[in-house]
Structure 1
Amino acid sequence: MIQDLRYTILFLFILSTTYTSAQSLRKLMEMPPRIIESKWEQTPEGGTELNYYNEDLCSYYLFRENDRSYNLNPGKNTVFRIEKGSNANNPFKNSSRYMFFRGQFPKDFKISTPYALPVKAGKETKWQIALQESAKTMIFQIQEGDTIYATRRGVACTTVLPQQLLIYHPDHTFAAYLMMSQNFIQGGEEIMTGQPIGIAGVLGVSISYFFLDNNKFDSNGPLGYPYSHFTPVFRTDKGDIKLDEKVAYKSAIDDELIMLEMTKREKKKFQKQKYSK
């Protein structure tokens, strides 16, 4: 009861500060300045093409009103080409409202995909809903100063604030790690499940899981907030389960979970490195 009161007081304190978790989540989803650049360029054959250069290692979605929209993968993305001597219509000459969003629409999203708890294997934690968040976010109770571990494999996206961490998973879902006092990870780093990623803050760590939702768009653009949030299944000593709120569970990060989304070559390398130590 004393511990619950302590967390209630801390919630009220955070709500009154400038850097609340909710503000951090909104800030986290902003596209970093100059991360995407568009250029009309000549082709070797004498034509022209419109290229978008994505300097992040996470994907972005380019929405163009009443026109085609495009997935912008890391690096060069050619979205339109005019061959030499062609009289093809160029839709990009016409004005159009356009917007960028982090991510792509998931193709193979499975709610049953198991995640790790954000604590060391064998250690217990419990969670509760972050009431100050407008979108569903889980606050995991971790002792201030303890290490936070990645709950799933992915790549770290570029963020505006250094203590924020946004991980993009192979199925185009995201995990946003908020309220950390320290972030070990740089944008572009490949992250493994169970890898140390930061240090817990006063309240532990808040994690929000979400994806860019195709059902929240129409021909005019996004219908409000374009992401859907979900609660994953977590691997515990009791199996892969949905966690009840405010109930303690013990982390069970095993090799099977770590290698879940690895290629055969990556699995072989991981096992070789592990057993050579």
Structure 2
Amino acid sequence: MNASDKTVKDKLILLTGGSSGVGKATALGIAQKGAKIVIISRSAERAEKALHEIAQKTGNDRGDYLIADLSSQSSIRKVADEFKQKYGHLHVLANLAGGIYFDKQMTIDGIERSFAINYLSHFLLTNQLLDILKESAPARVITVGGNPIFIKHAKINFNNLQSIDQFVGMNAAGQAMYARVFFAFELARKLQGTNVTSLVFNPGVIKSVLTANSPWYIKLIAAFYEPFAKEVCEVGAYLATSPEVENKTGIFFDDKKQVVPFHEKFDLAIGEKLWGISEELIK
């Protein structure tokens, strides 16, 4: 069967962060549509619990999981190899994992933790899986990019890219999230002509444990939004499965609407510079 003739049920979709938050909410939406999902989680227990819940709610029990620590580059390389050995094809890679860290922490690779998990892990994993994505084309990469209202105020400060100097957790997460947007656009540019596309999106307000260890004032803000939080990330599931976006690339989506609030700021030189630095950081 030609890849372009595949139905949603024929597609294999790999998601990071699939055991909670946006990752789980997107996995749930994708499973409802019948596709096979594989989630990457740090914990087998949490992955099994999430897949059991997804199967109960959707009737789709085809889910699988792989274990990886996204703060470790060797772990990311290992899980990419494991995936390719086990499956041999990949139609959608969903870069969805993330976290907010209010204390400065360094990973085993000497990278600030927020930057490593929120941004660099996706850069590395995507590059490790580009060969199988191209072989499985048409294929796509979707990356969560946050709310345009907040993220537009973030900056790429190349003098403090990892936010190590004068560390502030929310600022570090914001810069890493903004880097993901530049990454998604630059990836789209680099993949032109390959039949692999790159899209970035705002998931909206999703049920999450993201602020569980946050200061009281962050929890207060989170509590305000909690009644509006959704269990299913519809835009994520839409971008992962819909044939309507098969040929679209380099676009920011907000609630299924195409918006490009970052194109004015998307300086080609910044995207290229960030890509080059990222290559150096993953050795």
TM-score of Structure 1 vs Structure 2, range by shorter chain: under 0.3
Structure having the higher helix fraction is 2
Q: Greater share of strand residues, 1 or 2?
A: 1
TM-score by length of structure 1 reads 0.21
Give the structure-2-normalised TM-score. Answer: 0.21
